[in-house]
C-alpha cells in the first residue's frame, strides 16, 4: 500500500484527497518506480477542473511528471534495471503517488549530473521547451522571441534556452516583482502585462519590426497583443491556455496580420516514438549537466499539502518550478 492523491469529482482543490491505495505489480512491459519527487504543473489544475481535452476516468490520480528509483521490472523489460534512477512525463495522469507502475516506454534514465528533484521538475516542462525551441519553431541566432508567462517553470527554461542559442528574448509576466526573474533567466526585456501594453512595448523594443515567434501558454488574454507583435510570416505557437481556451482561429486575421503561422501544440505529437523521447531528454539533461539550463525549484510541498500547492499555482503565487516530495 502507498499514499496517493485521488479525486472522485472534478472541481476545486478541495476534491483532492490523500488515500492509501494498492498499486499492484508491474506487467510484462512495465516498471515499478518508488518516486522521490513529483512535478507540479498548471496542466494538473486543468485536469482536476475537468477542462483538459484528455480527461481521465474517475476516480483519478493527477500529475504528469515525476522521478524516482526502479524497484521492479516486468519480464519483457530489458533496457532498464532495478536500482536505476528514471524520470517521466506521461500523457496519462497518475504521478501524485509514492510509487507507480508505468510502461517502460514512458520513462528515461536520469544522468548522474541531474538530481531527482530537477528531473521531476523538468521532465514535462523541459522537454516541452525542447520541442518548442528546437523542432516546432526552430529558433536561430538573431531571432526575436516573445515568451508569455516567462517567470513560470516552462517560461524560465524557454528564456534560458533561447538566450543560449542567441535569440533576443522578451518575456511577459502579470506581476511587477517577477520582471527581475525574467531578466535574470536570459530575458533581455520584461513586460508587466497587467500595467503595460504588450504590443506597444514590442514595437518600441524592435523598432516597429515585431518578433519572429510568440511562445504562448496563456491563451485569450494575450492573443490580440501577440498577433499585433509578430513580423510578417511570424509564428504563433500556443502550448497552453491558463486564461481559458482560445476562440476558433480566423484565417483572414492571420492573413491580414502578415501571412502568419499558427499552431496549437502538444508534447505527445513531438514524442511519436521512443527515439524522439530519448533525443528530447538527452538534449534537456545535457544542457542541465553543462549548467546552461538552471531550473529554479522555488516551492516544495508534501503530498498532504497538494491542495495548497494547487491554490498557490492558480493564484500566481509561485515562481519557477514547484514539486511534491512524497
pLDDT at 11: 96
Going 24 to 25 to 26 to 31, the CA torsion angle's sign is positive
10 contact partners, CB below 8 Å, separation of at least 6:
48, 49, 50, 55, 58
Residues 113 and 149 in one domain: no
pLDDT at 54: 75
In a domain, residue 80? The reply is: yes
Distance, in Å, from the CA atom of 103 to the CA atom of 77, rounded to the nearest integer, reads 9
| CATH code for the domain of 28 | 3.90.180.10
- Ramachandran quadrant class, 11 (left: phi over 0; alpha: psi -120 to 50; beta: rest): left
pLDDT at 3: 97
Kind plus residue range of the DSSP H or E element containing 179:
helix 179-183
Output the average pLDDT for the chain: 95
pLDDT at 176: 92
Distance, in Å, from the CA atom of 34 to the CA atom of 85, rounded to the nearest integer, reads 10
Residues 7 and 117 in one domain: yes
- Domain end, chosen from 246, 264, 282, is at 264
Distance, in Å, from the CA atom of 46 to the CA atom of 155, rounded to the nearest integer, reads 18
Tell me how many domains the chain contains: 2
pLDDT at 39: 96
pLDDT at 69: 98
Does residue 91 carry a pLDDT above 80? Answer: no
Q: How confident is the model at residue 12 (pLDDT cuts 50, 70, 90)?
A: very high
In a domain, residue 195? The reply is: yes
pLDDT at 244: 85
Residues 88 and 50 in one domain: yes
Q: How confident is the model at residue 51 (pLDDT cuts 50, 70, 90)?
A: confident
| CATH code for the domain of 250 | 3.40.50.720
The helix/strand/coil state of 165 is helix
In a domain, residue 314? The reply is: yes
Does residue 124 carry a pLDDT above 80? Answer: yes
The residue whose grid cell reads 516544495 is 300
Alpha-carbon separation of residue 302 from 59, 94, 121, 172, 260 (angstroms)? 21, 16, 15, 30, 44
Could you report the per-residue pLDDT of 164-177, keeping only the tens digit for each? 999 999 999 998 98
Residues 260 and 146 in one domain: yes
In a domain, residue 15? The reply is: yes
Does residue 53 carry a pLDDT above 80? Answer: no
> What's the mean pLDDT in 300-324?
93
Q: Quote the domain boundaries for residue 89.
A: 2-124+271-325
> What's the mean pLDDT in 134-150?
97
First to last CA, the chain: 14
The helix/strand/coil state of 219 is coil
71 or 296: whose pLDDT is higher? 71
Residues 81 and 158 in one domain: no
Alpha-carbon separation of residue 10 from 17, 64, 184 (angstroms)? 12, 17, 38
Could you report the per-residue pLDDT of 25-40, keeping only the tens digit for each? 999 999 999 999 999 9
Could you report the per-residue pLDDT of 208-228, keeping only the tens digit for each? 999 999 999 999 999 999 999
Distance, in Å, from the CA atom of 87 to the CA atom of 53, rounded to the nearest integer, reads 24
Does residue 14 carry a pLDDT above 80? Answer: yes
> What's the mean pLDDT in 131-145?
97
Residues 219 and 319 in one domain: no
In a domain, residue 132? The reply is: no
Question: b/e per residue, 313-326, with b = 16+ CB within 10 A?
Answer: bbeeebbbbbbbeb
Query: 30 near 103, Cβ under 8 Å?
Result: yes
> Among 223, 222, 144, which Cα is nearest to 187's?
144
In a domain, residue 57? The reply is: yes
Does residue 251 carry a pLDDT above 80? Answer: yes
In a domain, residue 135? The reply is: no
- Domain end, chosen from 264, 280, 308, is at 264
pLDDT at 90: 84
In a domain, residue 129? The reply is: no
Amino acid at each position: 500500500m502507498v499514499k496517493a492523491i485521488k479525486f472522485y469529482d472534478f472541481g476545486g482543490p478541495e476534491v483532492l484527497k490523500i488515500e492509501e491505495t494498492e498499486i499492484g505489480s508491474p506487467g510484462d512491459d512495465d516498471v515499478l518506480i518508488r518516486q522521490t519527487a513529483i512535478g507540479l504543473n498548471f496542466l494538473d489544475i486543468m485536469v482536476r477542473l475537468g477542462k483538459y481535452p484528455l480527461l481521465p476516468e474517475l476516480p483519478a490520480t493527477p500529475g504528469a511528471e515525476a522521478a524516482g528509483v526502479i524497484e521492479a521490472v516486468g519480464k519483457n523489460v530489458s533496457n532498464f534495471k532495478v536500482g536505476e534512477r528514471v524520470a517521466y512525463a506521461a500523457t496519462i495522469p497518475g504521478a501524485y503517488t509514492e510509487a507507480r507502475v508505468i510502461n517502460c516506454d514512458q520513462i528515461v534514465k536520469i544522468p548522474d549530473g541531474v538530481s531527482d528533484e530537477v528531473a521531476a521538475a523538468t521532465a514535462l516542462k523541459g522537454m516541452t521547451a525542447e520541442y518548442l525551441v528546437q523542432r516546432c519553431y526552430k529558433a536561430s541566432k538573431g531571432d526575436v522571441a516573445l515568451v508569455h508567462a516567462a517567470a513560470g517553470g516552462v517560461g524560465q527554461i524557454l528564456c534560458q534556452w533561447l538566450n543560449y542559442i542567441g535569440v533576443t528574448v522578451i518575456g511577459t509576466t502579470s506581476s511587477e516583482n517577477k520582471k527581475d526573474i525574467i531578466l535574470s533567466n536570459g530575458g533581455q526585456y520584461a513586460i508587466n502585462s497587467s500595467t503595460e501594453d504588450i504590443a506597444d512595448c514590442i514595437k518600441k523594443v524592435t523598432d516597429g519590426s515585431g518578433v519572429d515567434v510568440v511562445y504562448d501558454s496563456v491563451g485569450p488574454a494575450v492573443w490580440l497583443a501577440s498577433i499585433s507583435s509578430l513580423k510578417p510570416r511570424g509564428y504563433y505557437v500556443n502550448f497552453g491556455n491558463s486564461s481559458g481556451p482560445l476562440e476558433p482561429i480566423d484565417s483572414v486575421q492571420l492573413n491580414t496580420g502578415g501571412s502568419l503561422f499558427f499552431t496549437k501544440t502538444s508534447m505527445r505529437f513531438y514524442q511519436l516514438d521512443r527515439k524522439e523521447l530519448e533525443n528530447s531528454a538527452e538534449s534537456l539533461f545535457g544542457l542541465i549537466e553543462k549548467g546552461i539550463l538552471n531550473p529554479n525549484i522555488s516551492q516544495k510541498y508534501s503530498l498532504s499539502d497538494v491542495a495548497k500547492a494547487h491554490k498557490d499555482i492558480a493564484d500566481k503565487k509561485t515562481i519557477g518550478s514547484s514539486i511534491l516530495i512524497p
